[in-house]
Amino acid sequence: MDKELQDKIQGLIGSKKIFLFMKGTPDAPMCGFSAGVTNVLRSLGADYNSFNVLSDMSVREGIKEFANWPTIPQLYIDGEFVGGHDIVVEMARSGELQKKIGV
């Protein structure tokens, strides 16, 4: 991955405590997994930013390499990769996600 793309991704992640790379937007998710993560975050009242990977193919492919994670959505908290849909749902069930985001 080139430095410009890496810097762009790092800047997006650093723009908010909670950051979600997803397909679509929180108000109009374009896949069930992205919808699931936004629903979890919404139910917790989390304040987060997101990026629609369908709008930029370089970010869509780059984020997979950046996190060494093959799928989207990808959730970051405090700049740290947390996981995708299944991990986020499980963390919310266990209460771990709420502790991590401070709600």
To the question of whether residue 31 is assigned a binding role by annotation, the answer is yes
26-71 residue pLDDT tens = 999 999 999 999 999 999 999 999 999 999 999 999 999 999 999 9
SS3 letters across 16-83: CCEEEEECEECCEECCHHHHHHHHHHHHCCCCCEEEEHHHCHHHHHHHHHHHCCCCCCEEEECCEEEE
Does residue 1 have a pLDDT over 90? no
For residue 72, what pLDDT band results from cuts at 50, 70 and 90?
A: very high
pLDDT (0 to 100) of residue 93? 97
Structural domain boundaries, residue 49: 3-101
Residue 69, Cβ neighbours under 10 Å: how many?
Answer: 15
Looking at residue 91, which CATH number applies to its domain? 3.40.30.10
Domain count, the chain: 1
